[in-house]
Amino acid sequence: MATTSTFPTYETIIYDEPRPAVARVTLNRPDKRNAQNMQMTYDLNSAFDYAVRQPHIKIIVLAAVGEHFSGGHDLGGDGNKTWRDFPIVGTWANFDSPGAEGRYAREMEIYLEITERWRNLSKPIIAQVQGKCITGGLMLAWCSDFVVASDDAKFICTSTKMGGTGVEFWAYPWEIGPRRAKLWMLEGELSAQKAEAYGMVNEVVPRAELESFTLDLAERLCKHTTWTLNMTKATVNTAQDAMGRRLSMQHAFAVHQLGHAHRVLVHGAAIDPNTLPDNIRAHFDKRAPMAGDKPKAGAK
């Protein structure tokens, strides 16, 4: 078993092993409400890979520092970093291609396919969710096998407020059913209690008990063999895929990209600026341009 001093370190997350056979991967950008930039995406991927490759680890807990689990994808951009600063882990490339091609390829890599990869890790993941879990944060909860939420948690979809039709890893009807999914996507918010009643959350506990409850659950699950844990996960995931989950996600992703292209033609940007709440607009206006964007007014 690795000691604390030998655990890998990352810029945006913390890796530790708080209980026997339990790895914990903790989002650590509390000043950004744990919004996910590319650095965090690839840090998560590296940490998950590390945990999976440790023979003594049976369960992975996905947690977050601070008041909120995740504010979603960081619309403020990635600073001076580009995709060239990170290893490509999927089967798509040519991210700088013009028009819809570059954006489609890049979002396939950093949103749809990498989240699908996490969903299919051999070892089960427990998401420990507090505060707000917004849009891209939903993808982190959905790729997990179990969700434990604090009683003040809120699951929020802002995609439709940007003129879109949901996140790239489009699991809405698979998580809460089709009619509830439609209403949630359009109205935007679910309480932890409703999310539990709808089947998306396993347990809702007081905020003060969230960490201990999650770790206790992880420790109980570790009483099973790795074979039982891994194969139970794989079998249930396969059953869900046989019902069309993967195919519907591929269609939804294509619609998502068509929406980007549509808004670029109509508004000159991938997100409809006329529908953005002020807090989202502030981040959007400061972000780096993405493939396919028209130049901003006054830009050369």
Residue 228 lies in a domain: yes
> In the beta sheet, which residues pair with residue 189?
156
Number of domains in the chain: 1
**The tokens of 12 are what?**
């945006």
Q: Which residue has the tokens 């619609």?
A: 255
Reported as a single tens digit per residue, the pLDDT across 37-62 is 999 999 999 999 999 999 999 999 99
In a domain, residue 86? The reply is yes
Q: What percent of the chain has pLDDT over 70?
A: 90
Domain assignment present for 293: no
Cβ count near 194 (within 10 Å)? 17
Query: What pLDDT, on a 0 to 100 scale, did the predictor assign at position 277?
Result: 64
Residue 257 zone, left/alpha/beta (φ > 0; ψ -120 to 50; rest)? alpha
Q: Which domain holds residue 195?
A: 4-286
The reported pLDDT for the residue numbered 4 is 61
Burial class (CB in 10 A: 0-12, 13-18, 19+), 7: middle
User: Over the stretch 152-174, which tens digit does the pLDDT of each residue have?
Assistant: 999 999 988 888 889 999 999 99
Q: Give the pLDDT score at 78.
A: 85
* Structure confidence by residue, pLDDT tens digits, 5-20: 689 999 999 999 999 9
CATH number at residue 147: 3.90.226.10
> Does residue 54 lie within any of the structural domains?
yes
In-domain check, residue 299: no
Q: Is residue 186 part of a domain?
A: yes
Asked whether residue 165 is assigned to any structural domain, the reply reads: yes
Is the model's pLDDT at 184 over the cut of 60?
A: yes
- On whether residue 298 sits in a domain, the answer given is no
8 Å CB contact between 218 and 126: yes
Q: What is the DSSP pairing of strand 132-134 with strand 125-129? A: unpaired
